Amino acid sequence: MKLSTPTISHSATFARVSSTFTYENGQQNEVYFETTPEFAKYLVHEVSDAFIIAAMLPALVYGEDIYVDNVSDYLSYNFDPLLYLFGKVFGYPPIKLHAKQVLHLEFNPQAVGTGFSGGVDSLATYLEHTSESCPKEFRVNHLALFNVGAYGNDPVKTSKNFHDDLERAQKFAKEVNIPLIPLNSNLSSIYTHKDIFHFSLRLTLCISAGILCLQKLFKRYYISSHGTIDTIKLSKYDQQYYEGLFVQRLCTTNTDIMIAEPHYDRVEKTKRILQSELTTSHLYVCNADLVNEKHEGKHHEKEGHVNCSECFKCVRTLLTIDLLGKLDQFRHLFNLEKYYKLKDALILQMYQEKESNHFQAEIYELFKETGAAFTPNQLRLIKKWERQQLPKRLYHKLRSICGKIMRKIFC
């Protein structure tokens, strides 16, 4: 796969850095990142770092080495260990990077940034990194909103959802008086192979590609953690489970990329952000658009509310806020009537999944910690489910006993 040298182009409304990817079969894709003209001077065209990171997984699954003109020294040095890791995760042999020149560039960037979606993770990162207790060197002074795949793979819907979110993020940035840099892209167009199609399995790489096309702006950038650091595993379905293993290898002389708050679970983050009035005005956790695209036929409707109040992100946030006793403060952002109708089923789901899903385990711990009690209907649902589990449990127990006996006889 040959990546052409990045070039910058301008229009009255955007500035774009782009590179043409040429595959071994001759197919070509123009890949771009674009921002508003005021941030044009920060787009990096001197090295292909952002495009190399974007190309890693497509090149891996198609078994093609990557050829570029220029790469920064850090990324060149780290390419092989990175591809060894992704090769293990996705089950493909590693590929190589071939660069005509390895460059050491110092852009002297000044900004400390983080993405702002309005979700629990991004609010937690923003509030932690603008608080008095945060050392000045680490304080966030720029916000960003990236369209690098989080909005799905349909270019029309993606663009609409990104611009809706951008309006929300800009409103927040104005209120807290911090500049916000929008970054649009067509990155999803290169992830058509089924093994790398969904955003969750390439999320950290796509965000990092977006960050490194702005190496002239960001000296440090925080990617909010999605779970705690100890939940690490090599999951080919969710890159955030193992991002702590590789994100340091995506850093360059200019830009440090860090995973923020890997020591707080979601409940702890929710507790912390509920202390700020900004949360009551701006909390936006809804994942309905992506869920609707991923699971065709299953549709979550927002019905005029900011958050749909029925997708998995909405309901786990609502249940947590409910247990923390602050639900009424969010009446203007969620459809609470919809939530109350779902609540018994959500409590049952929390109980059923408390040993298999760390988010549900955290909420169950909060349930016990706050002294909440099951209502008679919730208890009835739980007992019914437990009765249904009895035959399964007996079957597994018998299977285990038989296995032990067989091993004793034949081993």
With contacts defined by CB under 5 A, name the span among 132-140, 231-239, 304-312, 327-335 that binds Zn ion: 304-312
Question: Residue 311 CB, nearest distance to Zn ion (Å)?
Answer: 3
Close Cβ partners of 195 (under 8 Å, ≥ 6 residues apart): 61, 90, 201, 236
Question: Residue 239 CB, nearest distance to Zn ion (Å)?
Answer: 22
**Residue 221 near residue 211 (C-beta atoms within 8 A):** yes
Binding string, residues 240-279; x marks residues near Zn ion by CB under 5 A? ----------------------------------------
Question: Residue 172 CB, nearest distance to Zn ion (Å)?
Answer: 19
With contacts defined by CB under 5 A, name the span among 124-132, 199-207, 275-283, 284-292 that binds Zn ion: 284-292
Q: Is 15 in the site for Zn ion (CB under 5 A)?
A: no
Nearest to 14 by CA among 187, 170, 181: 181
Query: How much is the CA Rg of the chain, to the nearest whole Å?
Result: 23
Q: CA-CA distance, 308 to 315, in Å (whole number)?
A: 9
Binding string, residues 307-346; x marks residues near Zn ion by CB under 5 A? -x--x--x--------------------------------
Question: Residue 312 CB, nearest distance to Zn ion (Å)?
Answer: 8
Amino acid identity at 192: T
Q: Which is nearer to Zn ion, 196 or 308 (CB)?
A: 308
Size of residue set near Zn ion by CB under 5 A: 5
Among 127, 286, 306, 348, binds Zn ion (CB under 5 A): 286
Residue 302, burial from CB neighbour count under 10 angstroms (0-12, 13-18, 19+):
middle
Both ends of the chain: CA-CA distance in Å?
52
Among 247, 288, 319, 333, binds Zn ion (CB under 5 A): 288
Nearest to 54 by CA among 159, 191, 181, 184: 191
Question: Residue 296 CB, nearest distance to Zn ion (Å)?
Answer: 17
Amino acid identity at 154: D
Residue 406, burial from CB neighbour count under 10 angstroms (0-12, 13-18, 19+):
exposed
| Residues in touch with Zn ion (CB under 5 A) | 286, 288, 308, 311, 314
